[in-house]
Amino acid sequence: MKLRRALVMGGAILCAFLFSVWLNKPDLDLDPIAPPNLASATTEQVRAGEYLVRVGNCAGCHTAQGGEPFAGGRAIETPFGAVYSSNLTPHDETGLGRWTDAEFYRAMRHGRSKDDRWLSPVFPYTSYTNLTRADSDAIFAWLRALPPVNQAQPESTLRSPYELQLATRVWRALYFRPAKDAEVAAMDRGQYLVEGLGHCAACHTPRDSRGGPIAASAYMGGEIAGLGWDALPLAGIDTTHDPEGLELATLLKTGIHSRGAVAGPMADVVFESLQYLRDDDIAAIVSYLRRLPIAEVPAAPRVPRVSDDERAALRKRGAVVYGEHCAECHGDDGEGQPRQYPALAGSRLVTAVSATNALRLTLEGGFPPSTEGNPYPYGMPPFSHSLPRADIAAVLTYIRSEWGNDAPAVSVVEVERR
Amino acid sequence: MGSAMLHHGGPSDLAPHLLMRCSNRRLPRWLAVPVVLLMILCGATPVAAQDVPAAAEMADRLKACAACHGDEGRTVGDAYYPSIAGKPARYLYNQLVSFRDGRRQHRVMAAMLRTMSDRYLGAIATYYAARPHAKQPAFEGATAEQLAIGERLTVAGDASRNIPPCQDCHGEQLTGVQPSIPGLRGLPTRYLDAQISAWKQGQRQAAAPDCMGKIARSLSGAEITAISAWLASQPYPDNAQPADRLPHEQLPIDCGGVLP
């Protein structure tokens, strides 16, 4: 009896010991960090870093609205609470002042902080792990050249247990594998930009209930949790109307193309990042995106059902609303005006299974980003205060099922939930 | 932040710009001055201003703004949304930047302006500043007591509380002063009340030092309502324009939004 008890106790202790070893081990499959390859930053490196910081859109999260550039403090909303971005300026106490380039590289590639903390996966190291040492050093060199700003990173408001290091460690075990140098070296430029710094997957690959990317549905789009917008699928882009990919390139570089415009969070990405990319990098990205294979379609969000009768009534009313409020710009046949008003016929945004984006644009309106290629964009008026909710449901149902479009109806309840 | 506005200056702004371009292209230095003179003679406009769309086209581009601020930026009646037509350009520009960067809080405005360059904001401000202002009827709902308090504070201020008379900054006729100080007439009383109150609460801010914040914090809620009611009750002549200069040499208080 005594022996058995001792065995159980010993087993438990051994398990706890092994578990703690596993928790604290460095990821075993990562390549050792190369020693720093440059004693001090060169001008060339700083300049390269500035460009790479644009590619990665670091400011998108690390600059708060109206705040000091790269001093962090912006709330990143997640279904588990808000995480605040860190201060990337070289301030000794609150920023990266005491960091070395090797520590910075480890944070980017492996998601570990200077003090060995596991970083929240809100920081997309699942993508940045595909970063070369040279690019990491260049980014670090540029960040070092910023004026230091004294601004501490606010505590996250993550619910228990998500704020625990253990939760992050478990998340990493499930969803994160650091890339190997050889894998990164084998990537072409487009893949390197999309899978690495561009971190397109952060929004365009759907996530499961634990916030982990669903690998089987890579780049198939879906709801961006915390933002209330949907990401369009990047995989399986229809190339019939864009044989050379020039339209997509124009969209990424200027925010509009002949039939449409970017909206929502993608407008920020074009405004802050993509418009500054070199044409060859844009072309490389387009080429890679067009090669992405179609994957499993993620589950569509649950919306209230609309009966056939309701749908017919919505469509009838929608045609009237459309004629009064929309046709002047978007055209009687939803054809739009090139580079001014997006076409609604055949629009990926309008015909997406989820009506989220079309609904938000109708309620809130908005402008495509003003970029070098489209400095004074045409805007969409908000209709939230001028159209009844029932009319908004009707007009959305109408544009989603007219001119060859074939997407589910939008119920009044769905509009009222916004 | 102000770079977009500077592009709308006269030909004198152009010279250094061109000279730089010339030297880049290794144009003989002796040619630079004659070339600039020639450009000025030909009536060339500054480089960045050339592609700003014409007013009619701007109206199409800015339909989103008209949804609340009316055609050409004119609202009338007791709508909450202020008329923006005819306000000083620099003032409008400062407000657009403030909405975008969070010094003024309005969800719809912030969302609209989130991805707008300073250049576009400059073009929008210039467009609305050049539109004729709205013929806003005088507000008739003010009480006699409100009118008395409002007039006293507006016209005389209160030296004991460091509240200057409104016209010392906003112009003799309270129609604003070019290029940065807004007129106080022709605005809905609800809007005026909400804005001064927002300053008092710190929800609206201007560039530091925030003079209006300081003044608003010295006022009580009832006084703010009285001032708003009195201002909105004053008739507003059709031909009223922002004044070209301040009534006195200097502002009575330091204002960050008005710095040159």
Q: DSSP letters of A176-206?
A: --PPPHHHHHT--HHHHHHHTTT-THHHHS-
Using the beta-carbon criterion (under 8 Å), do B64 and A376 form an inter-chain contact?
A: no
Q: Which residues contact B179 (CB under 8 A, 6 or more apart)?
A: B88, B89, B90, B91
Confidence of residue B10 (pLDDT cuts 50, 70, 90): very low
Interface subset of A 340-359, CB within 8 angstroms of B:
340
Using the beta-carbon criterion (under 8 Å), do B115 and A380 form an inter-chain contact?
A: no
The pLDDT, as a whole number, for residue A28 is: 44
Distance from A275 to chain B by nearest Cα, in Å? Answer: 12
Burial of residue A69 (CB within 10 Å: 0-12, 13-18, 19+) is: middle
CA–CA distance, B161 with B149 (Å, rounded to integer): 15
Name the H helices within B102-143: 107-113, 118-129
Q: How does pLDDT run across B147-194, given as a tens digit for each residue?
A: 999 999 999 999 999 999 999 999 988 989 988 999 998 888 889 999
| Across A5-9, A94-98, A230-234, A373-377, least confident range | A5-9
Measuring CA to CA, how many Å separate A219 from each of A122, A200, A287, A358?
Answer: 18, 8, 15, 20
Q: Which of A370, A374, A385 to mutate to test the interface with B (most CBs of B within 10 A)?
A: A370
Q: Which of A74, A376, A378, A386 to mutate to test the interface with B (most CBs of B within 10 A)?
A: A376
The answer on pLDDT for A353 being more than 60 is yes
- Nearest Cα residue in chain B from A368: B115
The pLDDT, as a whole number, for residue B135 is: 80
The pLDDT, as a whole number, for residue A89 is: 97
The answer on pLDDT for B41 being more than 90 is no
CA–CA distance, A114 with B107 (Å, rounded to integer): 37
CA–CA distance, B35 with B31 (Å, rounded to integer): 6
CB of A73 less than 8 A from some CB of B: no
The pLDDT, as a whole number, for residue B24 is: 37
SS3 A274: helix
Using the beta-carbon criterion (under 8 Å), do B63 and A364 form an inter-chain contact?
A: no
Using the beta-carbon criterion (under 8 Å), do A382 and B51 form an inter-chain contact?
A: no
* Residue indicated by tokens 């060995």: A116
CA–CA distance, A274 with A248 (Å, rounded to integer): 12
Distance from A267 to chain B by nearest Cα, in Å? Answer: 7
CA–CA distance, A193 with A269 (Å, rounded to integer): 14
Confidence of residue A415 (pLDDT cuts 50, 70, 90): very high
Whether the link from the prior residue into B179 is cis, omega within 30° of 0, is yes
Tell me the domain boundaries of chain A.
27-189, 309-416
Contacts 24+ apart (CB under 8 A), B109-112: B110/A65, B111/A364, B111/A366, B112/A365, B112/A366, B112/A367, B112/A379, B112/A382, B112/B64, B112/B65
Q: What is the ipTM of this complex?
A: 0.88
The answer on pLDDT for B21 being more than 90 is no
**What torsion, rounded to 10 degrees, do the Cα atoms A216, A218, A220, A225 define?**
100
- CATH node for A309-416: 1.10.760.10
Confidence of residue B11 (pLDDT cuts 50, 70, 90): very low
Name the H helices within A306-355: 308-325, 327-330, 348-351
CA–CA distance, A349 with B44 (Å, rounded to integer): 43
Q: How does pLDDT run across A250-262, given as a tens digit for each residue?
A: 999 999 999 999 9
Query: In 3D, which of A148, A187, A374 has the Cα closest to residue A285?
Result: A187
CA–CA distance, B244 with B247 (Å, rounded to integer): 10
Residue B25 structure tokens: 């292209």
The pLDDT, as a whole number, for residue A1 is: 66
Burial of residue B101 (CB within 10 Å: 0-12, 13-18, 19+) is: middle
Confidence of residue B50 (pLDDT cuts 50, 70, 90): low
Section A314-318 average pLDDT: 97
CA B242 to chain centre: 10
Cross-chain CB nearest to B111 (options A270, A364, A377): A364
Confidence of residue B260 (pLDDT cuts 50, 70, 90): low
Section A232-249 average pLDDT: 92
The answer on pLDDT for B42 being more than 80 is no
Q: Which domains does chain B have, with CATH numbers?
A: 3-49 (no CATH), 55-129 (1.10.760.10), 144-258 (1.10.760.10)
Confidence of residue A26 (pLDDT cuts 50, 70, 90): low
Q: Is the CB of residue A64 less than 8 Å from the CB of residue A74?
A: yes
Using the beta-carbon criterion (under 8 Å), do A379 and B60 form an inter-chain contact?
A: no
Q: What percent of chain B has pLDDT over 70?
A: 79
Q: Is the CB of residue A376 less than 8 Å from the CB of residue B53?
A: yes
Chain A residues whose CB is inside 8 A of the B210 CB are none
Q: Is the CB of residue B31 less than 8 Å from the CB of residue B1?
A: no
The pLDDT, as a whole number, for residue B205 is: 87
Q: Which residues contact A86 (CB under 8 A, 6 or more apart)?
A: A62, A72, A95, A153
Using the beta-carbon criterion (under 8 Å), do B64 and A369 form an inter-chain contact?
A: no
Q: How does pLDDT run across B212-233, given as a tens digit for each residue?
A: 999 999 999 999 999 999 999 9
Q: Is the CB of residue B61 less than 8 Å from the CB of residue A378?
A: yes
Choice between B46 and A369, residue whose per-residue pLDDT is larger:
A369
SS3 B177: strand
SS3 A244: coil
CA–CA distance, A111 with A124 (Å, rounded to integer): 8
Which residues from B are below 8 Å from A when comparing CB atoms?
51-53, 58, 60-68, 100-103, 108, 110-117, 119-120, 123
Choice between A205 and B104, residue whose per-residue pLDDT is larger:
A205
- Number of Cβ within 10 Å of residue A278's Cβ equals 11
SS3 A231: strand
Choice between B7 and A123, residue whose per-residue pLDDT is larger:
A123
Q: Which residues contact B15 (CB under 8 A, 6 or more apart)?
A: B36
Identity (one letter) of the amino acid at B187?
A: L
- E strand or H helix at A46: helix A43-56
Q: How does pLDDT run across A63-116, given as a tens digit for each residue?
A: 999 899 999 999 999 999 999 999 999 999 999 999 999 999 999 999 999 999
DSSP 8-state code for residue B155:
I
The pLDDT, as a whole number, for residue B78 is: 64
Taking one residue from A and the other from B, the number of pairs with CB-CB distance under 8 angstroms is: 75
Burial of residue B107 (CB within 10 Å: 0-12, 13-18, 19+) is: exposed
Whether the link from the prior residue into B209 is cis, omega within 30° of 0, is yes
Mean pLDDT of chain A: 92
| Across B25-39, B177-191, B197-211, least confident range | B25-39
Q: Identify the bridge partners of residue B177 per DSSP, sorted by sequence position.
A: B181, B243
- E strand or H helix at A84: strand A81-84
Q: How does pLDDT run across B51-61, given as a tens digit for each residue?
A: 788 888 999 99
Using the beta-carbon criterion (under 8 Å), do B120 and A369 form an inter-chain contact?
A: no
CA–CA distance, A8 with B25 (Å, rounded to integer): 84
Instruction: Determine the length of chain A.
Output: 418
Distance from B165 to chain A by nearest Cα, in Å? Answer: 32
The pLDDT, as a whole number, for residue A36 is: 54
The pLDDT, as a whole number, for residue B185 is: 87
The pLDDT, as a whole number, for residue B241 is: 85
